[in-house]
Structure 1
Amino acid sequence: MADRTSSSITIEAGAPEIMAVIADLAAYPSWASGIKEIQVQETQEDGRAARVRLTFDGGPFSDTVGLAYTWHGDESVHWELVEKGAVVTGLHGSYTLGEGTGGTEVTYELAVDVRVPMIGMVKRKGEKRIIDSALKGLKRHVEG
């Protein structure tokens, strides 16, 4: 899973406000297209999710997977696959927040492996679509 796809967007809000939205995983189905359900199975002492079960509908693929989250204050969060789905066999992702011009720059990085053989260019295009949709949804939700 060496190839990762990433994209960034500037959101007119502070990192703590944005990270609070990112950390509210149960609310994702209301603003993140393709996310059907998230069940938080385990939390850290600060209340943020440590393990979740995620159900998504990503166009040609739908699946349910288990993810483990690692939080670094309001600067970043990383997640990785801990329970494979019927289609998804590998997944690493992160949000990283930093100072930007006119707000906070949010970078989303994602790498997904699937059971179905897929040309790298097609896979990256799918990852890019997921990332761009998530970033736009996050921006609308935070700024709205």
Structure 2
Amino acid sequence: MADRTSSSITVKAGKAEIMAVIADLEAYPKWASGIRDLTVQETGADGRARLARLTFDGGPFSDTVGLRYDWSGDDEAHWELVEQGSVVTGLHGSYILAEAPGGGEVEVTYELAVDVRVPMIGMVRRKGEKRIIDSALKGLKRHVEG
């Protein structure tokens, strides 16, 4: 798997409130640009998604993939590819939440690594990952704070 790209944003809310939005996968098309559909296929004992299918429009690429999720309370969410798409051959991602200094805010870090069938130089791939991450973080902040 390729090196991960990451970015962070500060959100004015508690961890539980932010993680509730992150864990509501089927609502992603409402606030995460580029995600057309996200369907939970299986949930864990905690009621959160374990397996899901994601359909996205990522500029020049559109694809549908299967993802497995792992949750660490309201601190972390991790996902990885379990079913390749026609373009995406590898995918690892995570949201990591940490209390921001001063209280009242949480720093949300999104990490992502994507491999695709199409030959692509690392710099171009990382730029695409960065665009996905920044868009998702801004959408999350707007959705939680709005």
Please report the TM-score for the alignment, with normalisation by the length of structure 1.
0.99
1:1-144 alignment, distance < 5 Å: 1-101=1-101, 103-144=105-146
Give the partner amino acid of 2:73. G
Aligned-partner Cα distance in 2 for 1:109–1:12: 20
Is residue 51–residue 66 contact of structure 2 (8 Å, CA) maintained in 1? Answer: yes
Give the partner amino acid of 1:64. T
Aligned-partner Cα distance in 2 for 1:21–1:77: 12
Give the partner amino acid of 1:16. A
Give the partner amino acid of 2:71. W
The structure 1 segments of at least 4 consecutive aligned residues displaced by more than 6 Å after TM superposition are none
Q: How far apart are residue 45 of structure 1 and its match?
A: 1.1
Aligned-partner Cα distance in 1 for 2:37–2:129: 19
Give the partner amino acid of 1:115. R
Q: How far apart are residue 37 of structure 1 and its match?
A: 0.3
Aligned-partner Cα distance in 1 for 2:39–2:19: 19
Which consecutive residues of structure 1, in runs of 5 or more, have no partner in the other structure?
Answer: none
Q: How far apart are residue 2 of structure 1 and its match?
A: 3.7
Give the partner amino acid of 2:12. E
Which consecutive residues of structure 2, in runs of 5 or more, have no partner in the other structure?
Answer: none
Aligned-partner Cα distance in 2 for 1:133–1:47: 27
Give the partner amino acid of 1:141. H
Aligned length: 144
Quick one: percent identity of the two aligned structures?
79
